[in-house]
Structure 1
Amino acid sequence: MLINGAGGSVGGYAVQLAKHAGAHVIATAGPRSSERVKAAGADDVLGHGLPELAEPVDVVLNLAPVDPAQLAALAGVVRDGGVVVNTTVWMSAPSDEERGVRGINLFVNSDAAQLAQLVALVDSGKLRVDIARRVPLADLPALHAEAAAGPLSGKAIVFPPAALA
């Protein structure tokens, strides 16, 4: 499986979940996040851009905001009968009908049973959530400003004042 854009929070979870499911994971990530992606369990970490792979993959999960030509090219790294899953809502997932490569557009679909499975994986330690800090609700504007200036490392949990005591 290729996870394109694995350096963010969602990518880190995708790597962990794919490894938990038994997949060999190839991930793309930038220099700032490549070590974090390796720590999440990626077997191989490549730089940004269309990767040159030794052999095609069964699945590509695109999490990166790529241009339309880059997204379309991802179908070319998928083996016949495989799938490209795209999370960028402004472009449709590419497909290649001649080779049986399907394109799937993925949107949020909250499902209580799936969320319960994720909670069970977190509780068992099989899915790690990197909590960088806890902040009071009053500091939320500063946290948003910090996030706008650049990516945050880990998750920030925001608590109402009474919960911090």
Structure 2
Amino acid sequence: MRAVVQDVYGEADVLQLSDVDRPAPQPGEVLIRVVAAGVDPGVWHMMTGRPWAMRPVTGLRTPKIRVRGRDLAGVVEQAGAGVTAFRPGDEVFGTTSTGSFAEFATAPAGRIAAKPANLSFEQAAVVPVSGTTALQAIRDAAGVRAGQRVLVVGAGGGVGSFVVQLAVAAGAEVTGVCGAAKAERVRSLGAADVLDYRTEEVDARGPVFDVIVDIAGNRRLSLLRRALTPRGTLVLIGGEARGTTLLGGMSRPWIAAPLSSMFSGQRLVGMIAKENADDLRALGELIEAGTLRPAVERAFPLARAAEAVRQVGAGHAAGKLVVTI
């Protein structure tokens, strides 16, 4: 089968379109004919091998998994031993264990769900990682309630677009932080207000937000806390722009947030999403009800997957990018 692979860590030029063996489903897995694959920042991290703290899992010197990509949407080709919930021909979406930038991929049955009927494969492919992250941030980490004021830093990106919609669905008044070019799209997702980070800092209005969800990761915690009410909640999702060589942006949620929470009535939560079928089904229900809609900016053919990853790594994507197989 055709797949986008890498044999060394590096920038997007290490990605190559190649012929590789088709994976076989293990017990508890399904083989999926991939129709579309989402491109999220995690793909860039896996490609570069940064931060270094992830290498014991991904491979110390070279990637353990050669094929890139995690999100996918496609059609079940074969069910492995013990799988009863899916059969050949089922349309599904979720995350793979073998890489989704390929004609075929395997996925644990516990990390896929039926594709929402009102989405194309391209739209469904961008939901799993970013949608699950946003759902767990709003529902679990922040516990957003009706009437709260929520600030979303990085509202114009892939995860941010889902966070805005889910906070609005919870009954919150949402302010999105993004550049002027993305402002109208963020408003179209339900944000009541948009703050242009080039002309106004997040703390300019004082401590008025009950919840801040920071996806961009390029502001000091002290600045974010100045925009938060005394008993408010700050949710940190990764962080691309600051941090140590060892931990990268994850130094903020793993180290800084727990320490900061010890000396304040504010609650600082660092989170890493846990991929699971239950949350995929919850997202599917919201999508089919019209409450949530994926924002796909652009589709790339498999041969140009490196270009898509390069664009995401540079932070230039407005909404989600997808690779079509």
What's the counterpart of residue 154 of structure 2? Answer: 5
In the TM superposition, 1:61-140 aligns within 5 A as 61-67=213-219, 70-87=220-237, 88=239, 89-91=250-252, 92-93=256-257, 94-95=260-261, 97-98=263-264, 100-140=265-305
2: CA distance, partners of 1:63 / 1:143: 20
What secondary structure does 2:173 align onto?
coil
Alignment size in residue pairs? 157
Offset at residue 149 of structure 1 (A)? 6.2
Q: 1:51 aligns with which of 197, 203, 207?
A: 203
Query: Per-residue deviation at 1:16?
Result: 0.4
Measure the CA separation in 2 of the matches of 1:141 and 1:29.
Answer: 25
Q: What RMSD, in angstroms, separates the aligned Cα atoms of the two structures?
A: 2.3
Could you report, residue by residue, the CA deviation over 1:26-46 in whole angstroms, capped at 9, with x for unpaired residues? 121111211111111111111
SS at match of 1:103: strand
- 2:35 maps to none
* The structure with more helix, counted as a fraction of residues: 1
Given residue 251 of structure 2, which amino acid in structure 1 is its aligned partner?
Answer: W
Q: 1:132 to 1:76 in 2, by over 3 A?
A: closer
**Is 2:152–2:177's contact at 8 Å kept on the other side of the alignment?**
yes
Matched AA of 1:39: S
Moved more, 149-158 or 78-87: 149-158
The C-alpha deviation readout for 1:75-103, integer Å capped at 9, x for no partner, is 122222221111122313343744x1011
Mind listing any 5+ residue stretches in structure 1 that lack a counterpart?
A: 161-165
Q: TM-score if structure 1 supplies the norm length?
A: 0.81
Provide the rounded CA distance (Å) in 2 between the counterparts of 1:55 and 1:144: 37
CA contact (8 A) 1:2 1:57 kept: yes
Q: How far is 1:144 from its partner? A: 3.3
Residues 80 and 121 of structure 1: is their aligned pair in 2 closer, same or farther, counting only changes over 3 Å?
A: same
Structure 2 regions of 5+ residues with no counterpart? 1-149, 240-249
Instruction: Go from structure 1 to structure 2 and tell me whether the alpha carbon gap of 1:96 and 1:24 turns closer, same or farther (over 3 Å shift).
Output: farther
Q: For 1:77 and 1:142, locate their aligned partners in 2 and report how far apart those are by CA, in whole Å.
A: 37
Q: Name the TM-score, length of structure 2 as normaliser.
A: 0.44
Which of 11-20 and 147-156 deviates more? Answer: 147-156
Q: How does 1:33-44 map to 2 (within 5 A)?
A: 33-44=182-193
Letter of the 2:295 counterpart: D
- C-alpha contact 1:4 1:28 (8 A) present in aligned 2: yes
Q: Percent identity among equivalent residues?
A: 32
Runs of 4+ in 1 over 4 A off after TM superposition: 145-150
Which amino acid in the other structure matches residue 109 of structure 1?
Answer: K
- Aligned partners of 1:7 and 1:33 also within 8 Å: yes
The alignment partner of 1:22 has SS state of: coil
1:71 shift after superposition: 2.2
Letter in 2 for 1:144: V
Change (3 A) 1:50 1:152: closer
**Which is bigger in relative contact order (C-alpha 8 A, separation at least 6)?**
2
Deviates more, 1:131-140 or 1:34-43: 131-140
